[in-house]
Amino acid sequence: MLERWARRVSAGLVMAIAAVLGRLGLNANTVTVLGCAIQVAVGVLLAYGYQQLGGVLLALGAGCDAIDGTLARTMGGATAFGAFLDSVLDRVSEAALFLGLGWWYMTQGEYVVAMMASLAIVGSILVSYARAKSEAIGVECKVGFFTRVERMVLMVVVLLFGWTPIGMWIMAIGTLLTAAHRILHVYLHTRREALAAAKERRAVLGSQHGS
Within 8 A by CB and 6+ apart from 89, the residues are: 32, 33, 35, 36
Rounded Cα gap, residues 100 and 42, in angstroms:
8
Within 8 A by CB and 6+ apart from 98, the residues are: 43, 117, 118, 120, 121, 124, 171
In three-state secondary structure terms, 37 is helix
Under the banding of pLDDT at 50, 70 and 90, the label for residue 157 is: very high
Q: What are phi and psi of 138, to 5 degrees?
A: 85, 20
Rounded Cα gap, residues 37 and 42, in angstroms:
9
Q: What is the CA radius of gyration of the chain?
A: 21
Of the two residues 197 and 174, the one the predictor is more confident about is 174
The per-residue pLDDT for 29 is 82
Residue type at position 195: L
Domains of the chain, residue spans: 2-210
Q: What is the pLDDT of residues 86-118, one digit of tens each?
A: 889 999 999 999 999 999 999 999 999 999 999
| pLDDT of 165 higher than 70 | yes
Q: What is the pLDDT of residues 129-144, one digit of tens each?
A: 999 999 999 999 989 8
Of the two residues 43 and 86, the one the predictor is more confident about is 43
| pTM confidence score | 0.84
| pLDDT of 16 higher than 80 | no
| pLDDT of 151 higher than 70 | yes
The H helix count followed by the E strand count for the chain is 7, 0
The per-residue pLDDT for 74 is 67
Give the CB-side neighbour count of residue 59, counting CA atoms within 13 A. Answer: 10
Rounded Cα gap, residues 15 and 24, in angstroms:
14
Percent of the chain with pLDDT over 90: 58
Q: What is the pLDDT of residues 61-92, one digit of tens each?
A: 887 777 776 776 666 667 888 888 888 999 99
Of the two residues 160 and 16, the one the predictor is more confident about is 160
Give the CB-side neighbour count of residue 117, counting CA atoms within 13 A. Answer: 25
- Quick one: the chain helix, strand, coil %, rounded to 5? 85, 0, 15
Mean pLDDT (the chain, rounded):
86
Under the banding of pLDDT at 50, 70 and 90, the label for residue 8 is: low
Of the two residues 149 and 181, the one the predictor is more confident about is 181
Burial call 158-178: b when 16+ CB within 10 Å, e when fewer: bbbeeebbebbbbbbebbbeb
Instruction: Give CATH superfamily name and number for 2-210.
Output: CDP-alcohol phosphotransferase transmembrane (TM) domain (1.20.120.1760)
Percent of the chain with pLDDT over 70: 81
Residues across the chain: 211
Of the two residues 20 and 191, the one the predictor is more confident about is 191
Rounded Cα gap, residues 50 and 45, in angstroms:
5
